[in-house]
Amino acid sequence: MRPEHKNVPALPAGPHLDSDCRGAASVLARVGDKWSVFVIMMLGDGPKRFNEIKRMIGGISQRMLTLTLRGLERDGLVTRTVFPTIPPRVDYELTDLGRGLSAPVKALGTWAIEHQPEIQRARMKFDARNDNA
Amino acid sequence: MRPEHKNVPALPAGPHLDSDCRGAASVLARVGDKWSVFVIMMLGDGPKRFNEIKRMIGGISQRMLTLTLRGLERDGLVTRTVFPTIPPRVDYELTDLGRGLSAPVKALGTWAIEHQPEIQRARMKFDARNDNA
DNA sequence: CAGGATCCACACGGATACTG
DNA sequence: CAGTATCCGTGTGGATCCTG
């Protein structure tokens, strides 16, 4: 067991970057994770079931969703509730900690959506300049 | 040329996730990038030179820093200014767009630092429960 | 339905050497 | 100093098949 989990490496070793920053790195790694961000946003408005989340996100494999949810659970950001029914049902919900995080994450998401066009234009221009290939 | 650049895949194809979200994904991918986040934070207080940034961050290889800066430049988040002196000198600075982004990013960083202990405790507990290995 | 197990590709990222 | 070029290990993540 214990193979993947999302590795949370914590920067190598350098005596650089004050330790707060280094510890924060592993947290940012989770937040920085594309899928984690999406899941947190999806869970923003109430608990959801596994396949429900999967459908909402769309491009994610069940493997990645499982791994992502496991990671978020590990970090105390979401709770996993199993209903021992047939067929089984599992609900995922943000914890208080998770809800706290969802605020800054949403801010980021909002920013991303708002400025997406500018960024895409910047990319086009940049690529155009360097694409003599 | 044009080998890496940070791939910006934009989710596969699924007719899921409203298109705003899908476009935002590629933006979040940049923000989600660990190194990009650090660089943006470093550049938060004024322009910096290449090796200056490298030293401040510490754990990054010059390759990754180059790639990261290239990506940020491509997205119109930082400007690259070359002084044709000997030895050469290159300054990197946040654009207005970049400065706009640095706000939410800092918010996230702050959150990460503040709640890092809770998260680490959550991880310990989680690992303790499942580590019968 | 929710997810564990496996196989596999390939992009990411480190180390090193070389250049303007 | 600020890169580029190359080699190469490995984590990440998709696809597929199987179970309670």
Is position B9 within any domain?
A: no
Contact indicator for B24, A41 with CB cutoff of 8 Å = no
Contact indicator for B9, A60 with CB cutoff of 8 Å = no
- Chain D bases near protein CB atoms (7 A cut-off): 1-6, 11-16, 20
Residue A99 has pLDDT above 90, yes or no: yes
The predicted model scores a pTM of 0.83
Residue (of A14, A42, A18, A21) closest to B108 by Cα position: A21
The Cα–Cα gap between B37 and A24 comes to 11
Is position B3 within any domain?
A: no
Count Cβ neighbours within 10 Å for each residue of A7-27 and write b for 16 or more, e otherwise. ebeebeeeebbeeebbbbbbb
Is position A38 within any domain?
A: yes
For chain B, the C-alpha Rg in angstroms (whole number) is: 18
Q: What is the CATH number of the domain that holds B117?
A: 1.10.10.10
pLDDT in tens, B32-83: 788 898 899 999 999 999 999 999 988 899 999 999 999 999 999 999 999 9
Domain that holds residue B100: 19-131
Residues in chain A: 133
Nearest CA in chain B to A116: B24
Residue B22 has pLDDT above 60, yes or no: yes
Least confident piece of the model among A40-49, B14-23, B48-57? B14-23
The Cα–Cα gap between A119 and B23 comes to 10
Is position A52 within any domain?
A: yes
The Cα–Cα gap between B28 and B25 comes to 5
Confidence of residue B28 (pLDDT cuts 50, 70, 90): confident
The Cα–Cα gap between B122 and B112 comes to 14
Cross-strand pairs, B49: B91
SS3 category, A43: helix
- Which protein residue's Cα is closest to nucleotide C14 at C1'? B61
Q: How far is the CA of A99 from the C1' of C19 (A)?
A: 51
Contact indicator for B81, B69 with CB cutoff of 8 Å = no
The Cα–Cα gap between A110 and B108 comes to 14
Is position A9 within any domain?
A: no
Contact A108 B104 (CB under 8 A): yes
Side-chain half-sphere of A21: how many Cα atoms within 13 Å? Answer: 20
Confidence of residue A19 (pLDDT cuts 50, 70, 90): low
The number of folded domains in chain A is: 1
Looking across all nucleic acid strands, the nucleotide with the smallest C1' to CA distance from residue B89 is D1
Is position B87 within any domain?
A: yes
Is position A6 within any domain?
A: no
Residue (of B22, B28, B31) closest to A59 by Cα position: B22
DSSP, res A76: T
Nearest to A122 among B74, B109, B122 (CB): B74
Residue B16 has pLDDT above 70, yes or no: no
Is position A1 within any domain?
A: no
Q: Is the CB of B110 under 7 A from strand D?
A: no
Tokens of B54: 């490298």
Q: Highest mean pLDDT range out of A29-38, A54-63, A118-127, B90-99?
A: B90-99
Q: What percent of chain B has pLDDT over 90?
A: 55
The Cα–Cα gap between A98 and A9 comes to 21
